[in-house]
Amino acid sequence: MMSIFFVQEHAYAQQKKADSLEALLSHAHKDTSRVNLMWQLASATSLYNPEKALVLAQQAVLLAQRIKYIDGESRSLGVLANAFLSIGNYPRALATNFEKLQLDEKQHNPRNMANALMKIGAVYVYEEEYQLGLKYYYQSDSVIKANNIEDFKYFIALNLGDVYNRLNISDSSYNYFNKSLQIAVQKNDSDWVGTSMTGLGHCYTKMSNYQFALFHYHSAIQYLETIDVHDDEVLCEALLGMANLYQKMNRNDSAQFFARRSLNLAKADNFLLKEMEAAEFLTNQYRTTNQVDSAFATMSRVQELNNTLNSKSRIRQSQVLSTNEQLRQIELEENRKEAEKERKQQLQYLFIGMFIPGFFLFTLLLSRIRVHVRLIKILGILSLLLVFEYLTLLLHPYVADLTHHTPVYELLIFVSIATLLIPSHHKIEHWLIEKLVSNRKDKLKLKKVNLKVKDPDR
pLDDT in tens, the chain (458 residues): 555 555 544 334 356 677 787 778 877 778 888 999 988 888 888 777 777 888 888 889 988 988 889 999 999 999 999 888 887 888 889 999 999 999 999 889 999 999 999 999 999 999 999 999 999 999 999 999 999 999 899 999 999 999 999 999 999 999 999 999 999 999 998 889 999 999 999 999 999 999 999 999 999 999 998 866 567 889 999 999 999 999 999 999 999 999 999 999 988 888 888 888 888 888 888 888 888 777 777 777 777 777 765 655 554 555 555 666 666 676 676 667 767 777 777 777 777 777 767 766 676 666 566 556 576 667 666 766 777 777 777 777 777 777 766 777 777 887 777 676 666 656 665 666 666 556 555 555 545 545 454 554 54
Q: Count Cβ atoms below 10 Å from residue 145 Cβ, excluding itself.
A: 13
d(CA 345, CA 350): 9
Q: Helix 272-288 and helix 252-269: axis angle, to 10°?
A: 160
d(CA 82, CA 1): 21
DSSP per-residue string spanning 27-48:
H--SHHHHHHHHHHHHHHHTTT
Q: List all residues 6 or more positions away from 45 whose beta carbon is below 8 Å from its beta carbon.
A: 13, 18, 52, 53, 56
d(CA 161, CA 173): 4
Q: Is the distance from CB of 59 to CB of 72 less than 8 angstroms?
A: no
Q: Is 8 left (phi over 0), alpha (psi -120 to 50) or beta?
A: beta
